[in-house]
Structure 1
Amino acid sequence: MVIAWIGYCLLISGFLALAAFATERALGHFRKPVRWGWFAAVVGSVTLPFAAFLAPGLLPGIGAAPWAPLVWLSEPVVVASAPVAEAAAPTAWFDAGAMSALAGGVWVLLAVGMLLHLGRAYRRLRSEMRTWTPGRVLGSPVMIADDRGPAVVGIRRSVVVMPRWIPELEDRLLRLVFLHEREHQRAGDHRLFAVAVAALVLMPWNVFLWWQLSRLRLAIEFDCDRRVLERGESPRDYADALITVGGRVSAPLLAAAAFAERKPAVEKRLRRMTEPLARLRTPRTLGASGLAALAIILVLGVPQPEAPMDAPAPAADAGRGLNIEANPLVRLAEGASQADRPTFVAFDTPPVLQNAGEVQRLLQSAYPRTLKDAGIGGRVELWLYVDLSGAVANHELKTSSGNEALDRAAAEVVQQMRFRPARNRDQRTAVWISQWVTFQVI
């Protein structure tokens, strides 16, 4: 379900944000670069959930023995049951399938809206750039704008843009402003931030990702300030330049690396530049590093949703009808057996697997040795027909793992499953269920 994956993305992003924050604290005690931790958090917040979705089992989780393959079953999901004469049970008040579809639609709309917003901002910037005029600052070529900059603009070909009032600065301040922008340009900070903004387009609803992006922008400035001061420049003059330019800064440019941001950011940069090295740096760094490591472990341990985004949701409450809109099935042709193909009917209580431990052991044994040794896993969805006795009377491969040997292993073992039969108004009823089987090696 989309909702489950949204929760998974938020957990991953939250833990990565915590790891990046702790990493910044650890590195900051020794005046080391801090932007890469935040950049890794932004990229990881997007790539890890997509990787987990496209390659289930990539993030193994915690608790499995490192020498043993992890084979596990999802909860069975009723997809259709055998016909009965009684009327269907009342419709559930909470339609999980509809909510999932709504969440997916909102996700797409937000992503499209974000893309359109960035496209509009880019077109506006391109139009504005045509009004900029070439100029020189301290003998180096720059672009002069009416009220933009100081900043570095552009991805492939970056340029330093300066506001028209920049010559009004004292020479000592002007030199520091220009040196700062050249450091941004040399380090490729504008490209780093542009990649982070592009990642945000994929998950514009992710509040942790927005916070990571704001912290990345600030960390980029922290690192640039540090590099400038390491050249032997005066911290007092540099602070004067920040305060002077910060009071006249224009609206931020799209994915640009700028000398001065709004007042709160300038204050944080001034504190970072002027604060003395903390006492007990080593214990504090070790503590922050431990917190970062714990956050990374939690990222690896976040359980992945068991079903893909378009899988049907299980019936949660007894007495309620099955919502099958998310997974439409073909009705039986005239004369066909109900065990041959799924069909639609009501049920009260879904079947319950009775021999889970035995099935787990069988799956471990059935995992092909060559695939296990090669670290190859996969995820298989099977539709099982559970008859009135609770035995699997028929099965059908619904979603392949992409490996025929894994599909065959799962199909052989699920036939050994034994269920407590499903019931409809105290009467046993045969049902088709959706069963996911996951093979992975840790």
Structure 2
Amino acid sequence: MLGLMGYTLIVTALLAASGWAAERVALVCSAPARWVWVMAIVGSLVLPVAVPSVSFDMPAMLAADGPAKTVALRDMTSAKLTPAAWLPAQAQNAAAGVAASTALNTALTWAWAVASGALLLALLGSAVYLAVRKRRWSRRQMAGASVYLSPDVGPAVVGLLRPRIVVPAWLAGAPEHQQTLVVAHEQSHLDARDPQWLTVCLLVLVAMPWNLPLWWLMRRLRRAIEVDCDARVLAAGYDLKLYGATLIEVGQRRSAFVGAAAAMAESRSFLEQRIGIMVRPPKRWARRAAPAFAALSLCMVAVAAQVGPPAKVRHQIALPAGLVANYVGYYQIDEHEVMVVSQAGDRLLAQRNQGHSWKLLPESETGFFVRGADMQVLFDRAGKGRPAAGLVLRQYGVDVRAPRVGAEAVQRVDAHIARRYALQRPAAGGAAAVRRNLDLARDGRLELADFTPSFGQIALRNLPGSGQLLKDLGAVRSVKFYGVSRHGWDMYEIEYEHGGALCHIAMNSDGKIANVLFQKKGGAA
């Protein structure tokens, strides 16, 4: 929770900077500025929600060198822009421990809910307060529009869902041109649906009341709404001097509380700014700087979209041993790979082809995770006393379906591995596929036809992390087979311009690469 809140604050601050720069451009170009702030406010909610959780299927025609694939927005962000990556290693570990604190997350969740509830109640209370007061207001026609006449409220548009114009009683005795200009201003708010957009943005604020940059965005939005309204009134042909004098007259008569409403009268300092915007053309330097401000705004949006969300904090739960027993068995991951799931008390152990074992920790009745690894196992829901029919192995956002199989499948895989280990012969086409893809990988590409569909996606997602290493090693000079591992993988020694590496590959009978282990000589895998 703490990581998500920090990530949201950073994204909102970047969008606020983008909005500030974009508003400079809008003022120079005499364009509406309120949309800048509406998009920034909505984006401050959409980005933190969508980036960590949304994935989509990229059509085959857009996928690089291969079939359609699933792309997670999280994987499109920059690891260097992840807030946790800015901390030293020790600080990262400490921050991860704090973020994983169940007590802290529970406290933050409750505080968030209380703050959102309090703000929502305040808005509802404001609406009820105005509704009660509105019953005592009289209705009349003014400048061709139906308005409410109040002793001390207005000029303003009150009501977020069904807004109405309310004007103060003193305006009834004001000159006709002032009445016309005031009503024109408030009617412009109604025509532009300013109250409705203000409601949408207020709901975003209710969703994140702790987001301090968002409060500043709301303040800028309310100001931009008034500036845009001034521009629309003047564009309709009303006299600038009379309109400015009317604003000053209204500003000198402070309205009573109107809640979240679009009001003609704001603070005196802002009133001076509005009049200055109307009477003074943009300065020459502002026009010349507009392209730079536009570029800055776009850059800030791009950076906000590239900020990496915090890693999901997973929490282990307790499951009945009887339920866990339904997941024990054999699951076919690939042609020559079977996952063996065994039980150790209320936990599960998973082993792939007699290799390393992982502890599967439950986070739901059917979902398990491996601590410290990007790996989840999602079992089919099992009935009472009935084993799960299969599982989904999720790694790096890629799902691999694995049906339950019998012990004979394990025996076939073991026999295949033993035969390959005894023969010590490379699989046909393996060396060529290794060399071809190592050459392409330096440019951030792969020949996906050489891989199984699922592992091709995994390889593509991990490729950016190996790009710099491959560039440092230089061009491939030779690929030499030197044996078959006890797990049935072909082992190759790679000689580069500036070093060497070891590459182990698992290949299916159709010549597709199903798994790869790449390790620089003297380095980690």
Q: Do they superpose with TM above 0.5?
A: yes
Deviations along 1:138-190, one digit per CA (max 9) or x if unpaired, are 24321111211111223454321111111232333222111111111111111
3-state SS of paired residue (1:340) = strand
Aligned residue for 1:112, secondary structure, equals helix
In structure 2, list runs of 5 or more residues that go unmatched: 56-71, 80-96, 329-340, 348-365, 381-390, 404-456, 465-525
Query: What TM-score, normalized to structure 1?
Result: 0.66
State the distance in 1 between where 2:49 and 2:98 align.
Answer: 31
- The residue that corresponds to 1:427 in the other structure is none
Distance 1:273-1:9 versus aligned 2 partners, 3 A rule: same
Partner residue, 1:254? 259
SS in 2 for 1:407: strand
| Displacement of 1:38 | 0.2
Query: 2:307 is aligned with what amino acid?
Result: V
Matched, 1:328 2:317: yes
CA distance in 2, matches of 1:204, 1:134: 36
CA–CA distance in 2 between the matches of 1:275 and 1:381?
63
Distance change >3 Å, CA 6–CA 31, structure 1 → 2: same
Alignment of 1:298 with 2:303, yes or no, is yes
Give the deviation of 1:280 after TM superposition: 4.1
Task: Please give the alpha-carbon distance, in whole angstroms, between the structure 2 residues aligned to 1:133 and 1:164.
Answer: 10
Query: 1:57-96 counterparts in 2 under 5 A?
Result: 57-58=72-73, 60-62=75-77, 96=101
| 2:352 equivalent in structure 1 | none
Matched, 1:33 2:25: no
CA drift of 1:272 comes to 1.7
Aligned to 2:400: 408
Distance 1:330 1:159, change over 3 A: closer
Pairs within 5 Å for 1:344-363: none
Q: State which drifts further: 155-164 or 295-304.
A: 155-164
CA contact (8 A) 1:133 1:144 kept: yes
1:230 pairs with 217, 232, 235, which one? Answer: 235
**Structure-1 residue corresponding to 2:438:** none
Q: Offset of 1:204 from its aligned partner?
A: 0.6
1:383 counterpart residue number: 369
Q: Deviations over 1:186-244 (max 9, x none)?
A: 11111111111111110011111111111000000000101112233332222211111
Answering whether residue 187 of structure 2 is matched by residue 182 of structure 1, we say: yes
Amino acid at match of 1:55: V
Given the two structures, how large is their TM-score scaled by the length of structure 2?
A: 0.56
- Partners of 1:332 and 1:341 within 8 A in 2: no
AA partner of residue 45 (structure 2): V
Confirm or deny: 8 A CA contact 1:61 1:302 kept in the other structure.
no
Q: Quick check: 1:10 aligned with 2:9?
A: yes
Task: Give the whole-Å Cα distance in 1 for the aligned partners of 2:286 and 2:242.
Answer: 28
CA distance in 2, matches of 1:218, 1:264: 12
- In the superposition, relative to structure 1, how do residues 176 and 95 fare at CA in structure 2: closer, same or farther (>3 Å)? same
2:157 is paired with a residue whose SS is: strand
Partner residue in 2 for 1:42: 41
> Paired residues, what number?
332
Match of 2:151 in 1: 146
Does the 8 Å contact 2:158/2:166 carry over to 1?
Answer: yes
C-alpha distance 233-59 of structure 1, shift in aligned 2 (>3 A):
farther
Return the letter of the residue paired with 2:121: L
Structure 1 stretches lacking a partner, 5+ long: 65-91, 313-326, 345-379, 412-436
Classify the secondary structure of the residue corresponding to 1:408: strand
C-alpha separation in 1, matches of 2:18 and 2:30: 18
CA RMSD of aligned residues (A): 3.8
> How big is each residue's C-alpha offset from its partner over 1:381-436, in whole Å with a ceiling of 9 and x where there is no partner?
753499xxx9xxx984389989999432699xxxxxxxxxxxxxxxxxxxxxxxxx
Name the aligned partner's letter for residue 162 of structure 1: V
